[in-house]
Copies of this chain bind each other. A is one copy, B any other.
Amino acid sequence: MTHERYEDSHLYRLRHSAAHLMAQAITEMYPGARLAIGPPIENGFYYDIDFPEPVSENELKGIENRMRELAKLNQPIERKVAASRDEAKRVIMEECTLGQGEAVAHYKLELLDMVPEGEEISFYDQQATDKKGELRRFIDLCRGPHIESTGEIKHFKLMSLAGAYWRGDVKQKQLTRIYGTAFETKEDLELYLHNLEEAKKRDHRKLGRELGLFMFSERVGQGLPLWLPKGAALRDALCDFLKEEQTRRGYEGVVTPNIANAKLYEKSGHLLTYRDKMFPFMEDEEKETFVLKPMNCPFHIEIYSSSLRSYRDLPVRLAEFGTVYRYEQSGELAGMLRVRGFTQDDAHLFVRPDQLLAEFKGVVDLMMAVLKKLGLNEYRVRVGTKEPSSDKYVGHDENWQLAESAIKQACDELGLEYEVSPGDAAFYGPKLDLIIKDALGREWQMGTVQVDYNLPERFDLEYIGEDSKPHRPIMIHRAPFGSLERMIGLLTEQYAGAFPFWLAPVQVAILPIADRHVEYAKHVAEQLQGFPSQVVAEDEQVAFATETVDSPGLRVSIDGSRQTLGKKIREAQRAKVPFMMIVGDNDAEAGTVGVRDREEGDLGAMSLTEFVARIRPML
C-alpha cells in the first residue's frame, strides 16, 4: 500500500502559497518588515518575520483581512529563474523589498548565500492590479512548488504568534513567527478548528486535574506523575485486563527492582548506547555504582538465565508492569505523553527460531485484542526494517531476513495491512509499531514489538536443544500499551474523560435525593460493589425494599453530601460517571433505582436485577 506523501500533495502547495500570501499582506502593511523563511508545516504554515515594531495577536485579524483582499485579486503565481546569482541579488534587493533595498533584504540575502553553487535560483512572483488600478505584487526567493493562483486560497486562518530564532540559533536575533492554517474546503477548515477546540477541551493535563486522575508536584519533580485515587483505579483496571489476557496466553509475571548495579547495563550495552537518557548515577564511597533502570530487559534476562532451560521449556514469556526512569530534557516533557518515570506493560519472550513466527503472531494478536477492548479501532501498522545501505545494524543477514519475513507473514496471516518503513528497525532487529488515530484524527505512536538477536548474544543465553546441545534463543520485546502513562493520556483525550464503562474509575454514582435515603443508597451500593459502604447517614432513614443480586463488583460512589439533587447530578456529570442512580422515597419503597446513562440520558426506574443484566455485557 502506498499513500501520497503530504509533501507531494496539493494541500502542501496551497499552504506554502498561503504563507506567501501572508507575507505579501505583511509587506504591504508593515513597511520595513524583513522576511526570513515561510514554509508549509503539518496542519498549516508559518512565516518568520523581523518586524520594525513588535506586533501582537490582535493584529492577526487585520493581516488575515488583507490576505482575503489579495486572494480575491486571484494573482497568478509564476515561477521565475534568475539568470545569475547577481541577477538574483538584484531581484531580492529591489523587487522583493518593493524598492526598500538592502536593509529589508537582509535575511533573504543570507538565504541566497546558502543556495549551493550551480543550483537553479528560483523566485515565485504573484501580481495583479486591484480595483483602484494599483499594481499589487509579491515576489519571494523560493524553491516552491506553489499552486497556480492566489484565488485558490479561500479557507484559511491565522492562528498564533511565537518567537523564533533566525536559523534556530539562540545566538541569532529572535524573529516573530506567525502561524496560520489553510485547507482546500470550508468543511476541512471548520473540522480542523473544531478539533483544535475539542483537543483543548480534551487535553489530558486539564482533564487529569479536573477528574482527579493524576498530578505533578514541584517538590517531587518535573515529569514524575503522582496517580490520584481515580487515576490509580484506571491503572488497575487497565493492568487487570492485560494481566488476564497475558495469563491466558501463557505469560508469567515477574517483579524486578528499579535500580541495579551499573555492571548490569554495562553488560547489556546500554551504558554505551543509552547513557544520555539515563538519570545521573548513584555512586557510593566504595565505588559501587547504582543506576536507575531505563529498561526492564536485562532484569528479565537475568531471570531467564537463572536456570537451565530445555527446548521444551520455551517459549518463556516474562511479563512485568515495570517502572522505568528516563532523563528526558525538561523542555521535552509533555503531560503524561512524555514523562521521566513511567510504567511499561513490558514483556520479553525467549523463543526458539522455529517458534518466532507463531510467537510474533501471538503478540500481534494480543495487541489487536487490546486495541479492540480499548475502542481504538483506527490504526496503522508499520514494519520497521533495515536501511539496506547503513552499517549501524548488528547481527547476521540471515537472521534479519528470517525475522523480517516472520513479521510480515504474521501480519499477512492475521489479515493486517502494513507499511514497510526501511531504516525504522532497531539496531538489533526489525520491529512492528502500532500507530493509533484518535477521535480527532491525530496520530499517536503506541505499542511496539521488536525482535532482538543482540541481547541473547551479549548475555550468552542458551537453551538445550533436542540434540542435547546448547542453542541461542531469540528475544521478542513487546509493550501493547507502550506505557500506562501514555496510554491513559491517550485514552483521556480519545474519550474526553468519559471512559468506557469497564474502565471508568467510578462506574455508578448513587445520588440519594435526601439524607433520609442514604441507608437505601448504601444497600444499593453493597449489592453493586459486593461489600458495605462506609458512608454515614445523619437523619432518620426511610424503610426500604431489599433486593439481592449476584454482585458484579462495580466501583461505586454515594454522594452523601447535603447538596441539592441538581448539584449532585451536575457533579456526577462533571466527573463523567457512566451511570447515575437517583434514589428517593418511591425507589426505596419499590426497591428500584432511577438510572441515568451518561450518553442516553434518563432510563427511568428499574430493579437492580434489570440494571445488572444491562451492564454485565459491558464489563
Contact = CB atoms under 8 A, between A and B. Distances in A.
Contacts of A318: 229
A532 interface: yes
Interface stretch (A40-48, A183-191, A216-224): A216-224
Of A226, A249, A252, most buried by chain B (CB within 10 Å of CB) is A226
B248 A232 contact: no
B258 A341 contact: yes
Interface in A280-335: 280-284, 288, 290, 292, 298-299, 302-303, 306-307, 312, 318, 323, 325, 327
Interface string A224-239: 1111110111011000
B282 A279 contact: yes
A561 interface: yes
Given A264-B219, A280-B282, A303-B215, A226 B254 contact: yes
A430 B488 CA distance: 41
A272 B75 CA distance: 74
Contacts of A225: 257
Contact of A281 (B228, B235, B282): B282
B341 A221 contact: no
A131 to B, nearest CB: 60
Interface in A8-27: none
A267 interface: yes
A253 interface: yes
Nearest to A265: B219
Contact of A224 (B219, B229, B236, B260): B260
Interface in A328-386: 341
Contacts of A389: none
A404 B229 CA distance: 31
Contact of A221 (B221, B254, B259): B259
Given A249-B534, A258-B341, A267 B219 contact: yes
A220 B261 contact: yes
Given A253-B229, A280-B290, A292-B282, A220 B264 contact: yes
A256 interface: yes
Contacts of A327: 284
A422 interface: no
B534 A226 contact: no
A445 interface: no
Contact of A259 (B250, B299, B325): B325
A307 B214 CA distance: 12
A61 interface: no
A263 interface: yes
A279 B224 CA distance: 19
B561 A312 contact: yes
Nearest to A535: B250
B531 A257 contact: no
Of A280, A288, A531, most buried by chain B (CB within 10 Å of CB) is A280
A6 B100 CA distance: 102
5 nearest A-B residue pairs (beta carbon): A229-B252, A227-B255, A250-B534, A221-B261, A280-B282
A564 interface: no
Contacts of A325: 258-259
Given A221-B290, A229-B252, A280-B290, 17 more contacts: A215-B306, A219-B263, A220-B260, A221-B257, A221-B260, A221-B264, A227-B255, A228-B254, A229-B318, A233-B253, A235-B255, A247-B531, A250-B534, A257-B323, A259-B341, A282-B282, A292-B292
B226 A302 contact: yes
Nearest to A532: B248
A554 to B, nearest CB: 12
B261 A226 contact: no
B236 A253 contact: yes
